[in-house]
């Protein structure tokens, strides 16, 4: 296939991410599959990304995730600076056939505003669509910009203007879906795990309360705001409480974390993360929001661990109640579902992941959407001058040195 895609992963974390990073994990899963299908991938990311690609563009040397802690007037320039680099590259590169964008809000707004100067765009909506009503209620990408959701339930809640731009949803995939069968089996323990950012929507407070009441061991893994380790959070002192997730942690979760029955182990990565999930009796999703895509849900299935949770957002779409997990609308019932999850068959979970959430399936679906977006009227690009550089460009297949300065 002769297709060059600029994959815009954004400035926040390297690809693959060192630990936490839902969007970056999805991009790291998608890119190798696309390249296997013959797609040329130019990755717009940060300089420290190690994912093998055909070419890399970066404005920042390293992930800017920590700066998300700063107030808006100090942080908003980060995504803008990254997008300015992407826009410059697109203006100067007629060889790019399509942009697949993953940058929240500013990616969509900037690429929609580029008009004829940009190739066709597919923007993936990874987040809760209630977050940007001012943008999504007014968006006009003409015939050149389309969006896809990460679940049907997410798109069902999209504002009308955004819905007019949609080409459907693509469920997330995980690399674990392909490797699960080859993994050495991990013995299933008694613990239950909640893997993810510690934030009100993910409901760690509810999970911790239920664990204390019902008496099962619960491990919370993931960052609190920008803090990946309990010691880091403790060292940050009072100032850290400016972050709403840090306040949530101290006020609503920490009172139930006794270090014995309920533990917070910080961010986990690589095989430690996989073993933690694969060895759990269940992954718990005590959702207090409409979870849009659920990377960690799909990962749990791939690792053969049933899912227990509140049946909202994408959960009922991903989990078959009674086979791959147990869902309820009633918080009081969660405690009863945890022991019952031990009776579910992990092999069914792995099978489901390999049939529905495999990387090759996700890539095939994206290639279909790329073709659909490229066939839209109004996607022909005027001839552009040859690329003159300006942002860091790395042409190495596996991430060599940066060839041009910023
Ligand atoms: N994650 C991780 N280590 C952690 C917590 C999370 O590797 O300690 C990963 C997790 O495996 C998943 C991603 O971060 O791939 C979280 O993605 P999800 O969509 O579940 O959450 P969100 O993007 O909403 O934060």
Q: Is the CB of 295 under 6 A from ligand 1?
A: yes
**Residue 135 burial by CB count (10 A; 0-12/13-18/19+): exposed, middle or buried?**
middle
Ligand 1 centre and the CA of 23: distance in Å?
9
The DSSP secondary structure of 327-378, one letter per residue, reads: EES-GGGHHHHHHHHTTS-HHHHHHHHHHHS-HHHHHHHHHHHHHHHHTSTT
* Segment 133-160 mean pLDDT: 96
Per DSSP, 11 falls in state S
Which domains are present in the chain?
A: 3-173+358-395 (3.40.50.2000), 178-356 (3.40.50.2000)
Q: Is the CB of 222 under 6 A from ligand 1?
A: yes
The confidence score (pLDDT) of residue 66 equals 87
What are the tokens at 269? 């990565």
Q: Is the CB of 24 under 6 A from ligand 1?
A: no
Q: Which of 124, 110, 121 is nearest to 24 (CA)?
A: 124
Distance of alpha carbon 145 from the chain centroid: 21
The confidence score (pLDDT) of residue 395 equals 53
CA separation for the pair 239, 71 (Å, rounded): 12
* Banded pLDDT at 68 (limits 50, 70, 90): confident
CA separation for the pair 89, 380 (Å, rounded): 18
The confidence score (pLDDT) of residue 354 equals 93
389 Ramachandran zone, left/alpha/beta (phi>0; psi -120 to 50): left
- What is the per-residue pLDDT across 330-389, written as a single tens digit (0 to 9) for each? 999 999 999 999 999 999 999 999 999 999 999 999 999 999 999 988 777 655 443 333
Ligand 1 centre and the CA of 313: distance in Å?
16
Lowest mean pLDDT of 185-189, 211-215, 330-334, name the range: 185-189
Ligand 1 atom closest to residue 202's alpha carbon, by position in its atom list = 24
CA separation for the pair 253, 199 (Å, rounded): 10
pTM of structure: 0.89
- What is the per-residue pLDDT across 276-295, written as a single tens digit (0 to 9) for each? 999 999 999 999 999 999 99
Atom 1 in ligand 1: residue holding the nearest Cα: 20
Residue 352 and residue 320 in contact, taking contact as beta carbons nearer than 8 Å: yes
The confidence score (pLDDT) of residue 404 equals 27
């Amino acid at each position: 296939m002769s297709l060059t895609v600029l994959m815009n992963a954004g400035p926040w974390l390297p690809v693959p991410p060192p630990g936490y990073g839902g969007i970056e994990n999805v991009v790291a899963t998608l890119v190798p599959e696309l390249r296997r299908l013959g797609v040329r991938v130019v990755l717009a990311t940060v300089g420290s990304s190690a994912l093998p690609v055909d070419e890399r563009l970066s404005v920042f040397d390293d992930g800017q995730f920590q700066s998300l802690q700063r107030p808006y007037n100090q942080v908003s320039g980060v995504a803008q600076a990254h997008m300015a680099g992407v826009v410059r590259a697109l203006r100067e590169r007629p060889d790019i056939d399509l942009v697949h964008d993953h940058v929240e809000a500013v990616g969509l707004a900037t690429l929609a505003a580029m008009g004829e100067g940009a190739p066709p765009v597919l923007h993936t909506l990874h987040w809760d669509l209630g977050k940007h009503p001012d943008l999504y209620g007014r968006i006009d990408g003409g015939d050149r910009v389309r969006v896809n959701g990460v679940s049907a339930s997410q798109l069902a809640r999209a504002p009308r203007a955004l819905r007019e731009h949609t080409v459907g949803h693509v469920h997330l995939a995980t690399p674990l879906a392909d490797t699960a069968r080859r993994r050495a089996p991990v013995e299933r323990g008694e613990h239950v795990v909640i893997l993810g950012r510690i934030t009100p929507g993910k409901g760690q407070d509810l999970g911790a309360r239920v664990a204390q009441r019902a008496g099962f061991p619960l491990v919370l893994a993931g960052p609190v705001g920008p803090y990946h380790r309990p010691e880091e959070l403790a060292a940050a002192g009072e100032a850290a409480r400016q972050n709403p997730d840090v306040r949530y942690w101290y006020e609503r979760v920490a009172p139930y974390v006794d270090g014995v029955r309920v533990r917070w182990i910080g961010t986990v990565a690589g095989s430690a993360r996989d073993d933690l999930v694969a060895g759990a009796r269940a992954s718990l999703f005590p959702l207090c929001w409409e979870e849009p895509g659920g990377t960690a849900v799909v990962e749990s299935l791939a690792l053969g661990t049933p899912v227990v949770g509140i049946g909202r957002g994408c959960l009922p779409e991903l989990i078959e109640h009674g086979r791959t997990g147990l869902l309820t609308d009633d918080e009081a019932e969660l405690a009863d579902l945890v022991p019952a999850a031990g009776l579910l068959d992990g092999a069914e979970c792995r099978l489901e992941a390999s049939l529905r959430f495999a990387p090759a399936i996700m890539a095939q679906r994206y290639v279909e959407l790329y073709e659909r977006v490229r066939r839209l009227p109004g996607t022909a690009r005027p001839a552009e001058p040859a690329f003159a550089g300006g942002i860091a460009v790395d042409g190495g297949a596996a991430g060599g040195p940066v060839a041009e300065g910023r």
